[in-house]
Structures are given as C-alpha cells and as structure tokens.
Chains A and B, each alone.
Chain A
Amino acid sequence: CSAPRPAQAISGSTVPTDPHWLGPRRDARLSPRTGVVPFMALLLLQRRPVAGRVLLVTGPGCPGHGLCRSNVQEQTRRQVALLNATAQDLFSLYLKCQGEPFSSETDKLCNPGGVFFPAFRVNRTSERKEVMVAMYKLFAFLNASLGNITHDQEELNPTAKELLDRLHNTTKTTRGLISNLTCLLCKNYNVFQVDVSYGESSKGKSAFKKKQQGCQVLRKYVQVIAQAARILLPHLSPP
C-alpha cells in the first residue's frame, strides 16, 4: 500500500455535495470490474440510506433458468466462505492504506455503530428461506457499499493496487453471490421480490469521512460476514 493521502477531513476541508454524483457506475450495465448491481447503483444516487424493493424476476420463470443448477447452493456457501476468509485481510489492508489515525485509532474511528448496516437477524435455526432473504439484503447492501468504497479509494489511494484489487474482487464476489441468491430465492423459494436497504452515500463527503465511512462499513462487514458464514454453513452444506 503506497503512502496514503493526508486525510482531508482532518484538515477540515469541505466535502463537496453533489446530489447527482454518478461516478463510473452511471451505465446501467454494470462494469464487471465494479461488480455493483445496476439497480443498486441507481440507489446510490441517494445520499441517505434508502430502502427499495428489488424485482428479482422481470418475466415468466426464473432468470437464467439453465444456470440455476444444483451446485448454486454450494457455490453460495463457497462465496460466503470466501468473503469471510478475505474480509479481515481486506479490512486490515484498508486500514493500512488509509494511514494514520486509522491504523492506531481503529476502534475509535471505525466503530460501526455510527453507520447504517442492514440487520442480519437470523441464526442457524432460522428457516432457510428467511436466511436466504436476509443474505440477499445483506449482500445487496454490501455490494453497493463496497462499490462506493472502491470508488472512493480509487480517488483517495489510486496507487493502492492491492487494496483496490481486493475491493474489486470482494465487490465482484458479492455480485456473484447476489446472482446465486437470486437464483436460489427464485428457484427454490419462489421469491421474486425483496425489500433492500442501501447505505448512506459518501458522495460529497470529505476524504476523511469517506475513509471513515469505508472503515466503519468494512469493520461491520467483517463481523457480519463471519456470522453469515456460520449461519449459512448448515443451511447450504451439501446433504
């Protein structure tokens, strides 16, 4: 991770507020590199946490029916496991790349209590459908948030290649996870619509605030993904 830029928020600079900030995700067809679901991207236009209802199916039958194979469940588990396995490293690398005071004041600056994060109130005994829906909500939020964080880091730490790569990969994984969950919800549980909530946009915030928001989201992500992995394991393990 290259030397981080000085946190402008600390210096007290003003964060520009542009309610029409679109960034690179203006195109409805999401770049594979960003891995952010287009619908979510639209939601990111909002500066506040927003709620929405995602229409999983737009036509008759489940989307990509031929792709919703029996291995999707295992793929979903592997994806969650992969995210869980890489979350801590991602967070550590993020902190490292943000420089001080994030490295030393992590607990204080990155306390996730101050940011929105979707509730993940399922456990091992929850119904599988409920778990799947909760997972969908969680990863829909994460996908959007990771997209924003990635975008912010591309501006703040454009030379932090590894961090950016990890952010990209994580974002892509969440996108793939959403694809698989969509497949599972549609095919197995006939769920065609899910209400989702997205986080607050960092658009217009200071660099410090962007960093802090990213740090808070990622820290929460580390905690939630571990929980999700634990919960999901018995539900998605092969019979």
Chain B
Amino acid sequence: MFSGWNWVAYGLYLFLNICSLEVSGGLVQSCGHIIPESPVLALGSNFTALCVLNESCLDFGNIYANQIIWKIKNRVVPKEQYHEINRTVSSVTFNDTSSLATPLTCNILADGQIEQNIYGITVTLGLPPEKPRNVSCIVHQVSKLTYPMTCTWNPGRRMFLDTHFRLKYKWPRDNFPDCVPKDVNNSCTITDVQFFVNLEVWVEAANALGKAESDPLVFDPIEIVKPLSPHNLSVNSGILPTVLKLSWENRISAAVMKLKFNIRYRIIGETNWMKVPPEDTASPRTSFSVQGLRPYTEYVFSIRCMKEDGVGYWSDWSEEKTGVTTEDKPSKGPPIWRIIDASRSPASWTVHLMWKALESFEANGVILQYEVTVRAKSSLTSPSEKYNVNTTNLTLKLPNGTYEMTVIAHNRVGASPPSILLIPTSNLKAPVKNIRTLPKDGKLWVGWTAPNSYVLKYVIEWCLLSNSSDCIIEWQNEPGNVQGTYLKGDIKPFKCYLITVYPLYADDQGSGQTVKAYLQQDRPSKGPTVQTKKVGKAEAVLTWNHLTVDEQNGFIRSYTIFYKTVDGNETAVTVDSSKTEYTLSSLTSDTLYTVRMMAYTDEGGRSGPDFTFTTQKFGKGEIEAIVVPVCLVFLLIVLLGVLFCFNKCDLIKKHIWPNVPDPSKSNIAKWSPQVPAKHNFSSKDQMYPKGGFTDVSVAEIEADDKKSFSEQDLKPFDLLKKEKSTSEGHSSGIGGSSCMSFPRQSVSDSDEGETTQNTSSTVQYSTVVLNGYRDQTPVQVFSRSESTQPLLVSEERSEDHAGGSDSTTQKQQYFKQNCGQDETNTDRLCFERAKQITPANEGDLVGFAQLQILGPSSQPLGLGMEKNTQEAALSDVLQTSTEGQSVRHETVEGNPLSVDEMPKSYLLQTVRQGGYTPQ
C-alpha cells in the first residue's frame, strides 16, 4: 500500500515528465534516466543516485554530465554531492536520507543557461519493521467445541511504510496458514486450535525495507484457555435451614479440561459477596452444597471455573441465581423497651411496652405473633398475665410496682428465646457518665462511660426535637460491654436530637443521661429579631428571643450584635448564647441607630432583621436634676421669704397694715388751740392702749397761703379723702398722708386696737382737718398727733431753726415719709410701696409720680438740705403744687452720707402762718 505522500510524489513525477516532454519539444526528450528507479530508502541511511544521459543527446544537444544539476523538489542539491563518473553519468550522494524529499530530479543547463529536466524519481522513506514484542495468546471458549485463539503483540515503532503483520503458528510436523490481522496490526485470531499439541506461535512483520519476526512462543493451547462459565445454575433448598445446594453444567468436557470452581454468594439486597472456600471447590464437579447460611434468607449465587491446575484463565462469573433457605425458629427474642406516661399517678401507671421486629436473620422466618407476659415482681402470689399480639407494642395500665415483662416471638417453626425487661418502681441505680456524641461517616455515634456496676445492656433512646412535632421516641439496645454505638435510625442533618442512655442492670435500671446532638450542623435558618427594651441617652437595652430549635440548625454558640449610626461604622459585640438581653452603652444621644443580630453555630451565622431606634436627648434624671433644684431653690426662697416676713412681721405689718390712728380717738379731737401743745402726752396710752402708729403723715398747711390753695387745688386732696371715705368708709380722714396707707389697710379700724398694740412706738401727727368730721362743722383745725415717738434732736433743731427763721416757715407743705423708725435710709421700700399704691391713686397722685421723676435731682437730706436744697425742693414742690399737687411725697435716695452723719429725724411742722407749730 502506498502512502499518501508516495502517491503525490508519483503524480508530480509524471507531471514533470510530461512537462519535460512538452516544454523541451523533443530536445531533451529521453535524454537520460535515473538509477535506481523509485527507491524505498531507510531513514538515516546513505543513498546514491545516478543520472545517465543518452548518447544521442550528447551529439544533438551538446549535453554532458558536467552540466547536470540535481534537485530535490525545487531545491538544488549542493554540487559537493555531485560526482561526474564519465561524460554521460553523474551521481549524487546523500549521507543521510532524512534530507531527501521527493521528487529527486536530474536537470541540465541547456545552452549553459536554460534549465531542462532530464528525469525524476520518487523517493520513499521509511523504517524497516521492528521485531514484534510481547506476543501473548488466549483461547476463548465460545462454544462447547469451538476454541478460537487470539494473539496480541506490540507492533513496535511507526515505520512510515506499508508493513504487514502475520501471526504464524505450526505443529512439530505441520505448518498452518498464517493468521492475517484485519484492520489492526497488533492482534489476530485463529478460529480454532487443537489442544494437547505444542504449538509454536510467532509474529512476522514485513515491509519494503525488510522483515522481522518475534520470538517464538511455544505452548499447548489448553494452557491458555478461558473457558465458558458453567451454565444452567440452579439453587435448591436443602434439608437444613442453613444449606442450599447448587447445581450446574460445565461447558467444557472433562476429557478436555478438568475444572475447579469459585462460588460466590450474597444475601439479596446486599452488595458484598461471600465466597465458598476455594479449596472446597478445587475439584471437578457439577454441584456443591453451600452451608452456614441464614435460615429463611434469600441468597444470590454465581460460579466460575478454570483449569483444575490453575493454568489458564478464570471464566467469567456465571449468571446469578437466587435461592431461599428454609425457616428456622427465631434465634433471639425481640429487643424490648418501655415508655411510662409522665403523668403517673401514685397508684397506677400506664406503661407502653414496645419491642422491635426481629431482623430477618434473627426471625429466621415469618413472625406470626408475639407472646407478652407481665409479672409483678413485688407480689409473688399474683399470677402472670399473658397477651398474644400481632403488633410490636402493648399498652398496659398497671398498679404501681416493679414488673418483669417478657416477650417471645413465634414463627412457623418455633418460639424465640424470651426477652425480659424489668420495670422498676424507680430508676435508682447509677447512670452512665460522660455521655457524648460524634458525627462519623454520616452516622451519629453516641458514647458514654460505663458505671462501675455490671451492666446487662444499655438502651439508647432518642427523639427529634422540633417545634412542629412531638418528640417521637426511638430506641435501640446495646450489649452491656460496649460504651458507644451508632444510632440505628434515620438521623437527619441539621436536626437536634435528644439522646438518652439508660443502663439496665440485672435487677434494676439506672437513670437516663441525656445529651443533645446534631448529625450535621448548618447556619441558622434565620437570625434573631432584636428590639429595644429601653432606650436611654447613651445606652439601649436590647432584647431578643432565642431561635426555635427548628431555626437553629445547630448549637447556637454566640450572638453578635451589629449596630451603627446612619453614617457611622458598624460596631460588633459578641454576646453569650444564653443571653436574651444586652445593653449597648456609649451611644450618642439623640441619634438614630440601626441594630441587627447574628446567631452563630459552628457552621456560621445568619443575621436577623435590622431594627432602628433613636437614643434620647436627655438622660435619665437630667430633667429631674434641673427641676428639683430649681424647685428647692424656689421653695427655699419662699421659705426664707416667709421667715423673713415672720422676722420682720412688725416691719411688714407697719408697711402693709399700718396702724392708722382713729381720728375719733385722736386727742386732736379734744385738742384746741388753747390746749397746750404738750398736753395729753401722758394720755397716749389711754388713747392708743394697744400700740402706736407706725407712720405719721404731716401736712403742713400754711395759713397764709390758705387762699392760694383754692378749693380746686385742694380738690384732689378732697377727692382722695372723699374716695376713701366713700369707697371704703374707713378712711382715717387724714387724707392719704401715709405712703403705706392702703385703703383697706388704712381702714382697718376694727383692728386698730391690735395694730396699735403691735406698734412699738407711735408718732403723733398733727393733722389739719379741713372738713368737718363726723358731722362736725368743718373748720380748719389742727389736730395734734399723739405720737409717742420721741422727737429727734434734729427735730428740735429744726424746730429751733424753724423758729429762728421765718423763711423756713415758708416751706411748702409736703408729705414726708419715714419708712422706719431707724431706717432712715431705706426709703426705697417706701418708694416701692408707693408704686404699689399708684394704681389705686393713679389719678390723685400725679404729683407723687412727678416726685419720683424729680427724686434723683433732689438733694440728700442733711445739713445742706436745711439750707438751699430744701428751699429748692420746696420751690419745686410749690411750683408743682400750683399745678394741682397739694400733697407731695418726697423720696430721698442715694444719700451718700452715712447714717451717723444723717439727721436722725425729720422736722414735722406746720409752716402756715398763724398756724399751729408743732413741738
């Protein structure tokens, strides 16, 4: 077979020849040829080609061998490789054929310039065949009498040439036709072979560059047989429930080959095969009884065979056949346990007795019924009760006590050994210790430390904790010598199981020890929902509920609270999983916070919803801290004020409730010009037995100026008097002379006596009564004050001064207020009180207000006052008086002089000419 390249080269060669003929026009036609013609060369070998020119061309075209040019494809071969043998023959030599390509052409320069092709050859490169290696053969039995043999080998390297492989074989005296592979080069099948004759097998590889044979292989084909597996396998139950008999047919004659066998079997549904010991089936046979099987169990069998001496190959496993062993009586009693109702009464209890159906290898047949025997241990005389049930549980209501429960399983063959469970009144014996769990291989392992006492067996009880369903108890028994087991149930991942281990003793039960476990944990399915319980200025108390067991998916190891302000960084706080409340502190007041919470299991955490809250502007007690002190201060002030009032009661009283002398009781009523001025001083107490007057207003009316005081001028005065007398009816009649004379206070005649008692001293004023008093004919009289206030020295002086200077008697009348007996400088109080009066006497006391304005310009009372100031003041007063002010209240303020320097009293006098001059 030619390779593709060879065909291409050959086609190109023909094309060149044709072209050569056409182009040359016969000039160089058949002028030469190349020797060898289309060689097949081994890669890497050397090669020499000859171009032989025809003699005819020498004469015709003057073409000689020295003009020959060798070319590979279009590439000129270097002249160093040329060799001119004679004038008609030129050779070219290639030391390594790897540089060769096809076509190799012989060309000539006609006329020294025009290159003409003389001849061309194709060159095929390749490798000689390698010796086939690793020859191996196997005889496959395909039918009872047909044994084809297949041999395989390694053909070796790629040879780039068409290489033929043949499988050769022969007997000592006979050769057989070669086996020629089809479509492959590494295997061949001989349709039939003969056993018990040594066969020599070898592989021959051949191509254009040579032949190679593998090492011969000599064997008897019987030694390399892979027989057909036994067939028609049948399984029959034996007499014994643990035996099954297998029968089969061998498909190879024992005369040809004696066989040995392998038998494997498994319980149906299981995957692991068991094997019959090979030595039991090492001899030719067509049947075998498999022993040691489980009663009433379905088994699957399969068999294979090979040459008895082990030379050759095992057959494939036969088709599988099943068989069922016969029944036997149950090998053990069913595992038994109980659930006692939690609501056990002192007298009786409800016992749910339950047992597990026996495994098939224990039941050894179909369990027809269970026989339950209940025997009270405490009462030896009471007979035992028997129940035959078809289910695996029995509920009994029993009197309180210790019971022995026995369960026996029955099948068609017989009864099982009894299973006994002791139900004591109470589980008082030692429990297991150090109960622990471990997920392992997709199952949940429970381990414990055994108590010191001998334990008959353990009962492991477990249930799935869920909010959506009750805890349905499952259980299993374990022998007393183990301290750990896998839970034999459908244990689901991410579910919480409550596992309890009870040790059962020969005569009692131990109390159960419980542990919670997960087969596999996951992140919680949701996070806790956090909310605030209390929000303060810098702290917030957060509360949350534990996740439900269905939401946990694992053990909650911790919580993490994340909180942040709107534009702040998130802060995380880890909280113990047992907590349901946490106080965030160091918060900023009046700030919106977003808080969320994550619950973590071992597998990770999940966040709950965000919750926002705003801290308060003021902290707890801050308002109280402000308000309470203010209130306290206020109360203190009030208290101090009250105390002050009490302490200064007389003073206040003097100002607020001045004792206005009752004119009716005034001595002036008895006084007449003829009465000496100092008359009745001694009768003061008689007149005012309960006290003196607090203040005295003095009205100085100049007799000479009487006319100047027209009625209009006196009208305000009259109005004042009138108003008081009419509106209150208790006016003293002195004409509002007192700055503290509130109308009501001043008319408290009824309290006169009391008031006078509280007055430590009184000053007797002389009052000018213009109108008639109490139906008296209004005459201009002087009423002398009966004040007991001693006259001051200055007064004496004033008096003297007044007496010494008539000009001083020219003084305008005015009110002079003395706000205290010894507070000559505290005129401000008087002034303020005067202000309080003002609303009542608004219309009447215009001049008084003017005095207030003038006040600052008034000079302090003193010696100077007695000179110019008084005159100026008086002139002012008079000037004002002409404008309608008949009564003046002059306030003295801002006296820079000390008290000692101040005159101690004022001179109260009447300056009217011809009037009475008080003492």
Contacts and interface: CB of A to CB of B under 8 A. Distances in A.
Interface of A: 29-30, 32-33, 35, 56, 62-69, 71-72, 75-76, 78-79, 81-82, 84-86, 165-166, 169, 172-173, 175-176, 179-180, 182-183
Interface stretch (B167-175, B628-636, B678-686, B810-818): B167-175
Contacts of A66: 200, 216, 218
B192 A82 contact: no
Nearest to B254: A85
B652 interface: no
B217 to A, nearest CB: 11
A69 to B, nearest CB: 6
A136 to B, nearest CB: 12
Contacts of A172: 192, 194
Contact of B192 (A32, A85, A175): A32
B172 A179 contact: yes
Interface string B175-193: 1110000000000000010
Contact of B218 (A69, A180, A183): A69
Contacts of B256: 82
Given A67-B172, A82-B255, A175-B174, 15 more contacts: A30-B174, A32-B192, A35-B194, A56-B173, A64-B170, A64-B200, A66-B200, A67-B171, A67-B218, A72-B198, A78-B195, A82-B195, A173-B196, A179-B174, A183-B173
B145 interface: yes
24 contacts: A29-B175, A32-B176, A35-B194, A62-B172, A63-B172, A64-B172, A64-B198, A65-B172, A67-B172, A68-B198, A75-B197, A75-B198, A78-B195, A79-B197, A85-B253, A86-B253, A165-B146, A166-B145, A175-B174, A175-B194, A179-B171, A179-B174, A180-B172, A180-B196
Interface centre among B170, B194, B200 (most CB of A within 10 A): B194
A69 B175 CA distance: 18
Contact of A179 (B145, B173, B177, B195): B173
A93 B146 CA distance: 18
Interface string B215-233: 0101010100000000000
Contacts of A67: 170-172, 198-200, 218
Nearest to A83: B255
Contacts of A86: 253, 255
A95 B620 CA distance: 124
B196 A78 contact: yes
A82 B200 CA distance: 22
Interface of B: 145-146, 170-177, 192, 194-200, 216, 218, 220, 222, 253-256
A179 B255 contact: no
B308 to A, nearest CB: 13
A182 B173 contact: yes
A29 B174 CA distance: 9
A84 B254 CA distance: 12
A176 B255 contact: no
A33 B196 contact: no
Contact of A69 (B194, B195, B198, B222): B198
Contact of B177 (A29, A72, A173): A29
Contacts of B192: 32-33, 172
Contact of B196 (A56, A62, A79, A165): A79
Contact of B198 (A63, A71, A78): A71
Contacts of B220: 71, 75
A82 B172 CA distance: 20
A176 B194 contact: yes
B472 to A, nearest CB: 68
B255 A180 contact: no
A30 B174 CA distance: 9
Contacts of B197: 75, 79, 176, 179-180
B144 to A, nearest CB: 9
Interface centre among B172, B194, B199 (most CB of A within 10 A): B172
B515 to A, nearest CB: 72
Main secondary structure of the interface of B (DSSP, over half): loop
B718 to A, nearest CB: 172
Contacts of A79: 195-197
A85 B172 contact: no
Given A63-B173, A64-B173, A82 B194 contact: no
Interface centre among B175, B199, B256 (most CB of A within 10 A): B256
Contacts of A64: 170-173, 198, 200
A22 B201 CA distance: 31
Nearest to A31: B177
Nearest to A69: B198
A124 to B, nearest CB: 21
Sorted nearest first, the 6 A-B pairs with minimum C-beta distance are A64-B172, A85-B255, A176-B197, A75-B196, A67-B172, A67-B198
A165 B143 CA distance: 11
Nearest to A81: B255
Nearest to B176: A32
Nearest to B147: A169
Nearest to B146: A165
Interface centre among B174, B192, B218, B222 (most CB of A within 10 A): B174
A183 B172 contact: yes
Contacts of B254: 85
Contacts of A33: 192
A29 B170 CA distance: 12
Contacts of B195: 78-79, 82, 176
Nearest to A179: B171
A166 to B, nearest CB: 7
B171 A176 contact: yes
A237 to B, nearest CB: 15
A173 B194 contact: yes
Contacts of A84: 255
Contacts of A35: 194
Contacts of A29: 175, 177
A26 to B, nearest CB: 16
A30 B171 CA distance: 13
Contacts of A85: 253-255
Contacts of A71: 198, 220
Interface centre among B174, B195, B196 (most CB of A within 10 A): B196
B392 to A, nearest CB: 61
A50 B177 CA distance: 29
A124 B245 CA distance: 42
Contacts of B218: 66-67, 69
A7 to B, nearest CB: 27
A68 B199 CA distance: 10
A81 B256 CA distance: 9
A84 B199 CA distance: 23
Nearest to B175: A29
Given A71-B220, A82-B255, A169-B145, A176 B172 contact: no
B752 to A, nearest CB: 168
Contacts of A32: 176-177, 192, 194
A71 B221 CA distance: 13
A72 B256 CA distance: 15
A142 B392 CA distance: 78
Contacts of B171: 64, 67, 176, 179
B145 A82 contact: no
Nearest to B190: A32
Contacts of B216: 66
B213 to A, nearest CB: 14
A176 B170 CA distance: 11
A84 B200 CA distance: 27
Nearest to B143: A165
A86 B170 CA distance: 25
A115 to B, nearest CB: 26
B556 to A, nearest CB: 80
A82 B220 CA distance: 15
Nearest to B169: A32
A81 B199 CA distance: 20
B324 to A, nearest CB: 37
A178 to B, nearest CB: 8
A76 B253 CA distance: 17
Nearest to B192: A32
